Amino acid sequence: MNGRKMMEDHPPLEFSDKRDITLKTALLLYPKDERFSRWFLLDLFVLLFMFLLFMYVQSPERSLFKVPISPFFSHWFGQERSPKSPIDRFNNGLAPGSRGTPRVLMGNNRLLVEAGPYLTIISDAAAANHVAKGLILAVIKVESGFDPGAVSSRGAMGLMQLMPLTAKDLGVRDPFDPEENIHGGVAYLSYCLRRFEDVELALAAYNAGPGIVSRLKCVPPYQETRNFVARVLRHRARYDAVL
- Residues annotated as catalytic are 143
Of the candidates 174, 182, 166, which has an alpha carbon nearest to the alpha carbon of residue 124?
A: 182
d(Cα 221, Cα 223) in Å, to the nearest integer?
6
- CB neighbour list of residue 117: distance below 8 Å, 6 or more residues apart: 86, 178
**Is 175 strand, coil or helix?**
coil
- CB neighbour list of residue 191: distance below 8 Å, 6 or more residues apart: none
Q: What is the dihedral of CA 169, 174, 176, 182, to 10 degrees?
A: -50
